[in-house]
Amino acid sequence: MPYVPRPATIVRCAHCSTPFESRNLRRKYCSNSCNVLASYQRTGARSEPRPSKADLERGLATLIELMTAKERAAASAPKPIAAPKPKPAPETKELSLSEAKAKLQELAYARKKVRELTEKLAEDKKLKETKPAKTSPKHSR
């Protein structure tokens, strides 16, 4: 027996009451958007409609106007002059020549150690990258 399509019937949308043709007897809505809006209406998920693009643009223009007006008002307002706070004098200790040399040697030694450690880390990283990944004994044959 060959396939015979069901004849189209005119049905009214359950949400917007627009007539539409349907071959499916269970179809209630003319489009997916009417289905979604009807669902929102039933569940109360959206109590108010989304603002239109024009409303959003007007709101954005108002916000920009308010911000620029605020900036202009702030720029024209006299700024109070605050006296600068005196900086506390750092406590410095006079070093003798021998003490200064000792400090410099300590710093040089610390720099050398840091350089050695960073080189060692770089070498370890290179070794890890070049090492082939170990396979587990279960999967190797």
106 and 66 within one domain: no
pLDDT band for position 134 (cuts 50, 70, 90): low
What does each C-alpha distance from 84 to 78, 81, 87 come to in angstroms?
Answer: 18, 9, 9
Do 20 and 65 reside in the same domain of the chain? yes
Residue 84 domain-assigned? no
**What are the tens digits of pLDDT across the range 29-79?**
999 999 999 998 888 876 566 777 888 888 888 888 888 887 877 777 776
Task: Say how many domains are in the chain.
Answer: 2
Distance CA 7, CA 24 (A): 9
Residue 51 lies in a domain: yes
Q: Is 60 found in the same domain as 107?
A: no
Please check whether residues 66 and 17 belong to one and the same domain: yes
Boundary residue ending a domain (70, 88, 121): 70
Residue 111 lies in a domain: yes
Q: For residue 59, is it within any domain?
A: yes
pTM: 0.32
Specify if 90 maps to a domain. Answer: no
**pLDDT at position 34, please?**
93
Residue 81 domain-assigned (yes or no): no
**Nearest residue to 115 via CA among 104, 123, 125:** 123
Q: What kind and span of H or E run contains 22?
A: strand 19-22
In this structure, what DSSP letter does residue 138 have? Answer: T
pLDDT, residue 54, reads: 84
Find the helix or strand (DSSP H, E) in which 4 lies.
Answer: none
- CB distance 31 to 40 below 8 Å: no
- Over residues 110-127, the pLDDT tens digits come to 899 999 998 988 888 888
In a domain, 102, yes or no: yes
Provide mean pLDDT across the span 8-37: 93
- 50 plus 104 within the same structural domain: no
Identify residue 37 by its one-letter amino acid code.
L
- Report the DSSP beta bridge partners of residue 22: 9
Domain membership of residue 66 (yes or no) is: yes
Q: How far is the C-alpha of 44 from the C-alpha of 38, rounded, in Å?
A: 10
Model confidence over 86-101: pLDDT tens digits?
Answer: 777 777 777 788 888 8
- Looking at residue 131, what is its pLDDT? 67
Residues 55 and 106 placed together within one structural domain of the fold: no
Q: Percent of the chain beyond pLDDT 90? A: 23
Full domain range(s) for residue 117: 97-130
